[in-house]
């Protein structure tokens, strides 16, 4: 695949993922009824929504920026922890393994973004 094609795919996947995380983070910070109901169902206090929402918004911004690589790495790590925690919480709340595995598509999009970013970085270094 050409470098330009990889960059275009990287940005398309990354923007899609970041927009989803921004939307999710904003709905949690705003304490929407749906977000509050989910936290209640999982057994967490509602204020955890604010903490996770702010982290998601900052993580999405960190993934979209290009200058600070370490912050970007930590953002991807944070989203990984968020998804693992979400899947585990869903399972332990009694919703079953199939519903807990519903986080897998988000992992796929996130890891696609991450791997494409690494590929773009590798080519950039070799130039």
Give the confidence band of 127 by pLDDT, cuts at 50, 70, 90. low
97-114 per-position pLDDT tens digit? 999 999 999 999 999 999
The tally of domains found in the chain comes to: 1
Whether the per-residue pLDDT at 19 is higher than 80: the answer is: yes
Identify the pLDDT of residue 58: 98
pLDDT at 116 > cutoff 80: yes
Question: What local confidence, expressed as pLDDT, does residue 124 receive?
Answer: 74
In a domain, 88, yes or no: yes
Residue 82 included in any domain = yes
Domain encompassing residue 58: 3-118
Would you say residue 47 lies in a domain? yes
Is residue 105, in this structure, part of any structural domain at all? Answer: yes
Residue 16 lies in a domain: yes
Helical H segments across 1-127, by residue range: 3-29, 33-42, 48-64, 69-90, 97-100, 104-126
In a domain, 123, yes or no: no
115 neighbors 92 (Cβ within 8 angstroms): no
Q: What would you measure as the largest C-alpha separation in the chain, in angstroms? A: 52
Higher pLDDT, residue 122 or 69? 69
Residue 30 covered by a domain:
yes
Which residue, among 73, 69, 60, 71, has the nearest Cα to 106 in the 3D structure? 60
Residue count (the chain)? 127
Residue 126 has pLDDT above 80, yes or no: no
Q: Looking at residue 123, what is its pLDDT?
A: 78
Question: In this predicted model, what pLDDT tens digit does every residue of 41-100 receive, in sequence order?
Answer: 999 999 999 999 999 999 999 999 989 999 999 999 999 999 999 999 999 999 999 999
């Amino acid at each position: 695949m050409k470098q330009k094609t990889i960059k275009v795919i990287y940005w398309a996947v990354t923007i899609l993922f970041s927009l989803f995380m921004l939307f999710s983070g904003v709905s949690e910070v705003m304490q929407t009824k749906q977000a509050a109901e989910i936290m209640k169902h999982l057994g967490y206090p509602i204020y955890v929504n604010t903490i996770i929402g702010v982290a998601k918004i900052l993580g999405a911004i960190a993934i979209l920026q290009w200058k600070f690589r370490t912050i970007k790495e930590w953002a991807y790590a944070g989203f990984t922890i968020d998804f693992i925690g979400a899947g585990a919480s869903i399972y332990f709340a009694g919703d079953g393994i199939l519903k807990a595995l519903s986080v897998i598509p988000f992992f796929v999009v996130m890891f696609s973004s991450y791997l494409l970013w690494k590929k773009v970085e590798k080519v950039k270094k070799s130039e």
